[in-house]
Amino acid sequence: MKRHGKRDGEGALRSRIAGAFGRLGRAFGRAVYPPDVTCDLCGAELVADTRYNLCARCLSEMPFTGERVCLCCGAPHTDEADYCLRCQRTDSVFRHNRSPLVYEGAAKQLILDLKFGKKKYIAKLLGAMMSDDYLSRGGDSEIIVFVPMTAKEKSARGFNQAELLAREVGARLELPVLPALEKIKESLPQKELSAKERAENLKGCFSAAYGEYIKGRKILLVDDVFTTGATANECASVLLKNKVKEVCVLTAAVAKPAEKS
Ligand SMILES: [Zn+2]
Ligand SMILES: [Zn+2]
């Protein structure tokens, strides 16, 4: 990127943001799915236009994060404080995470169906919810980057769900999706590890690519679930070392932080 191009870059960014808000208005005004398909969660036939590919019952059971969220991790938050206990105790290098859903109940089922049931079409539904959440909260990112898998992990599953979500979100927000992170080392499954162990487990697992394209840019990092923030933080720190301007995180669902430490 040439230095004298900066003004143009800012102008383009402003018009892109204005465009995003215009799209927000239009997007909320129309239904996404025609009434000739079945609910992505329970398989019931949809009898009316719906914004998301879900029947009324499954939609009513969907645990959306809602208005009041922790300013860092995006989990629902009723406390007076701006940040939840998890985020008060953790240093994060990304600006914030935002998620349309809480990782529980019907939302957890959707994500498990996508990842382990190999129902790739669910990425379209989750991508629609993620895009709406991003627009309603006024995001201003320029490039989407997804959390990568190693080649071995990807061939075991057949796809990378973070990449599928990134492509859906990119198409809806009209933002470029760049594979600017590579996973170069296997990590242990995160599930049984503590927050501290998760952070250690991921050290040295990621490296950056397309350095000249991401430098100075606002990155939207996409993943399926935000649990302790260890993955988002490690990916963000690799991107920041490669001189991106900032990293915001967008995930389909956020795990509720533990109530007590
Ligand atoms: Zn349903
Ligand atoms: Zn938090």
CA of 110 to the centre of ligand 1 (A): 11
Residue 4 per-residue DSSP state: G
125 CA → ligand 1 middle, Å? 13
Give the model's confidence band at 20: pLDDT under 50 very low, under 70 low, under 90 confident, else very high. Answer: low
Closest ligand to the CA of 70:
2
Q: Give pLDDT, residue 58.
A: 95
Tell me the pLDDT tens digit for each residue of 116-144.
998 999 999 999 999 999 999 889 999 99
What is the pTM assigned to this prediction? 0.85
Measure 155 CA to ligand 2 centroid, in angstroms: 33
Which pLDDT does position 190 carry in this prediction? 80
Question: Taking a C-beta distance cutoff of 8 angstroms, is the pair 169, 128 a contact?
Answer: no
pLDDT attached to residue 53: 92
49 CA from centroid of ligand 1 (Å): 14
Distance 174 CA to ligand 1 centre (A): 29
Domain ranges of the chain: 31-61, 66-254
Choosing among 3.30.70.240, 3.50.30.30, 3.40.50.2020, 3.40.50.2300, the CATH entry for 66-254 is 3.40.50.2020
CA of 50 to the centre of ligand 1 (A): 12
* Contact partners, residue 226, CB within 8 Å, separation at least 6: 73, 74, 97, 99, 103, 232, 249, 251, 253, 254, 255
Residue 252 confidence (pLDDT)? 98
CA 142, CA 214: separation in Å to the nearest integer?
9
- Residues lining ligand 1 (ion), CB within 5 A? 39, 41-42, 44, 55, 58
Beta strands in the chain (DSSP E): 97-98, 101-102, 143-146, 181-183, 206-208, 218-226, 246-254
Say yes or no to pLDDT of 192 above 60.
yes
Contact 239, 207 (CB under 8 A): no
Q: How do strand 97-98 and strand 246-254 relate by DSSP bridges?
A: parallel
- What lies within 8 Å, CB to CB, of 259 at 6+ separation is none
- Terminal alpha carbon distance of the chain: 46
Mean per-residue pLDDT of the chain: 87
Question: What residues have a C-beta under 5 A from ligand 2, the ion?
Answer: 70, 72-73, 84, 86-87
Residue 6 has pLDDT above 60, yes or no: no
CA of 251 to the centre of ligand 2 (A): 14
pLDDT at 34: 54
